[in-house]
Structure 1
Amino acid sequence: MNELTPLDGPTVLIDFCDLRFVVDPTFDNAQEYPVGARSLRKTTDSTWRVDQVGPLDAVLLSHDQHVDNLDHGGRELLAQAPLTLTTPLAASRLAGTARGLDPWEALTLGAVTVTAVPAQHGPDGTEHLTGPVTGFVLQARQAPTIYISGDNASLAVVEEIGARFPSIDVAVLFAGAAHTPLVDGSLTLTSTQAAQAIIRLGRPRTLAMHTDGWAHFTENGATLRAAFATAGLGDLLLPTQPGDSVAI
């Protein structure tokens, strides 16, 4: 069975065509993470422990430079994973089983083709502050096509991906309108932008992630559900109760 299991923040377990993937592993409990003179604050404990994930075929890591996408527990998981697919820069820092994929580069694992797709972690011109990020598309014969956005804030990027993959069935969409004092604007999609993104992708079923659990997320799951309802998209949202699986 193909299914998604949302956990916390951006972390999703994907069982797809007899393979198991985990997206952006975060397993720490609530705490403060120093970042230079600032800090990031996780506000909720992890739903699962690392040892509950079970055997994996690959980690799909959007980026390694921000702790809300890869925390201490996530790094523990990476050390056990047979393969981590991520940006080339992250792969160079992580070493081990990490493999970097450039945008539009594809890799075949079993029956699944994994394609790295662009993501823009903030407004135009801020990549030198936020660093590179990747999204992913998963495809297989007679299976739904899955888009995983990563920390993307650009609707133009979404349109480009939709043009390359016109038949996306399921979107794992990161939102939350994340903010930092270093950047004027959101680092991830706002709830309204997330609804617009889904329209531009052809209205796939949507698992909304990266909306709760961190103090720098300025919009939450309730905000997103309201935005989707206003846009007439509420019926596209998949359940997001952490730890509960949903078939796709």
Structure 2
Amino acid sequence: MTFRGFGGPTVTFQLGGLTFLTDPTFDDAGDYPIGDRVLTKTAPAVAGPEAAGHVDVVLLSHDQHPDNLDRGGRAFAATVPLVLTTPLGAERLGGNARGLQPWESTTVGDVRVTAVPAQHGPDGTEHLVGPVTGFVVETGGETVYVSGDNASLDVVREIAARFPHIDVAVLFAGAARTPLVGDHNLTISAADMVEAARLLGARTVVPAHIDSWAHFTESIDDVRAAFAAAGLQDRLREPDPAR
């Protein structure tokens, strides 16, 4: 399985003859308003949407934050056959977007996609951050978990209990923090990535959403160090840069 990274949370992979793309973000560096706050993007996308080629399905964890769906990503998502996301996100996006409730599944070709929970911050903050979803994608004996923006290992435990044979885990990390939730993480840390890999039993972990934004407190170097310290560096597989 080939994983290509565009920077931020945007990764492509193929499964069951289909190409999937996570959280499309293609804009340049700069400041991006979100309510009365601003998120700062520190680096442009590695490549534009044309480098993705034909995409069959966008797996969109949520639409309400510019570091997960920016202007270029919105324009691109409107051109693909199907966008799977939260019910509220699908309502806002319209068109080709379909919302899935947690644990709801749909079939695309020979691939089964199940929406799974994601908690974008500490307990009790969904009213601040909005709903987020992850995905489990299955076909032909291969199972891929895409975490979306998740900060809870309890959520990972719940997913592992329902899907005991995760082959690949695409984990959004970076230990993101903003004043919205104080000193709590909005996404998992490198240490939590290691624990998530153990909980899921994933033989391969693909790191995503660990670069290009000022509100991330950890980088790929922290992830590499955490997996090396745990003796699990052989499970870590960084996506190939898109070009």
TM-score range (shorter-chain normalised) is over 0.9
**Residue 149 (structure 2) aligned to one of 148, 151, 173:** 151
On the 8 A contact 2:59/2:85 being kept in 1, the answer is yes
Match of 1:14 in 2: 13
1: CA distance, partners of 2:230 / 2:180: 31
Match of 1:56 in 2: 55
Kindly provide the amino acid, as one letter, of the partner of residue 104 in structure 1: W
On the 8 A contact 2:52/2:242 being kept in 1, the answer is no
- Tell me, what secondary structure is at the counterpart of 1:13? strand
Q: C-alpha displacement at 1:21, in angstroms?
A: 1.1
- Tell me, what secondary structure is at the counterpart of 1:108? strand
- Tell me, what secondary structure is at the counterpart of 1:99? strand
Kindly provide the amino acid, as one letter, of the partner of residue 66 in structure 2: V
Kindly provide the amino acid, as one letter, of the partner of residue 150 in structure 2: N
Alpha-carbon spacing, 1:54–1:203, altered in 2? closer, same or farther (3 Å): closer
2: CA distance, partners of 1:70 / 1:171: 21
Match of 2:71 in 1: 72
1: CA distance, partners of 2:169 / 2:17: 20
Q: C-alpha displacement at 1:203, in angstroms?
A: 3.8
2: CA distance, partners of 1:134 / 1:36: 21
On the 8 A contact 2:51/2:242 being kept in 1, the answer is no
For residues 42-94 of structure 1, what are the alpha-carbon distances to aligned partners after superposition, in whole Å with 9 as ceiling and x for unaligned?
11111111222222211100000000000011001111111100000100100
Kindly provide the amino acid, as one letter, of the partner of residue 203 in structure 2: P
The answer to whether residue 177 in structure 2 is matched with residue 140 in structure 1 is no
Kindly provide the amino acid, as one letter, of the partner of residue 105 in structure 2: A
1: CA distance, partners of 2:12 / 2:239: 12
Alpha-carbon spacing, 1:110–1:36, altered in 2? closer, same or farther (3 Å): closer
- Root-mean-square deviation (CA), in Å? 1.2
- Tell me, what secondary structure is at the counterpart of 1:80? coil
Q: Paired residues, what number?
A: 242
Q: C-alpha displacement at 1:139, in angstroms?
A: 0.5
Q: C-alpha displacement at 1:241, in angstroms?
A: 4.2
Kindly provide the amino acid, as one letter, of the partner of residue 64 in structure 1: D
For residues 113-142 of structure 1, what are the alpha-carbon distances to aligned partners after superposition, in whole Å with 9 as ceiling and x for unaligned?
001000000000111101110000111124
Equivalences for residues 37-56 of structure 1 within 5 A: 37-56=36-55
Structure 1: state its 5+ residue gaps.
Answer: none
On the 8 A contact 1:3/1:16 being kept in 2, the answer is no
Match of 1:169 in 2: 167
Q: C-alpha displacement at 1:14, in angstroms?
A: 1.3
- Tell me, what secondary structure is at the counterpart of 1:91? helix
Match of 2:122 in 1: 123
Match of 1:27 in 2: 26
On the 8 A contact 1:5/1:12 being kept in 2, the answer is yes
Structure 2: state its 5+ residue gaps.
Answer: none
- Tell me, what secondary structure is at the counterpart of 1:137? strand
On the 8 A contact 2:122/2:185 being kept in 1, the answer is yes
- Tell me, what secondary structure is at the counterpart of 2:135? strand
On the 8 A contact 1:137/1:146 being kept in 2, the answer is yes
1: CA distance, partners of 2:36 / 2:74: 23
- Tell me, what secondary structure is at the counterpart of 2:179? coil
For residues 126-181 of structure 1, what are the alpha-carbon distances to aligned partners after superposition, in whole Å with 9 as ceiling and x for unaligned?
11101110000111124x21000000000000000000000000000010000110
Match of 1:206 in 2: 205
On the 8 A contact 1:175/1:209 being kept in 2, the answer is yes
On the 8 A contact 2:16/2:140 being kept in 1, the answer is no
User: TM-score if structure 2 supplies the norm length?
Assistant: 0.96
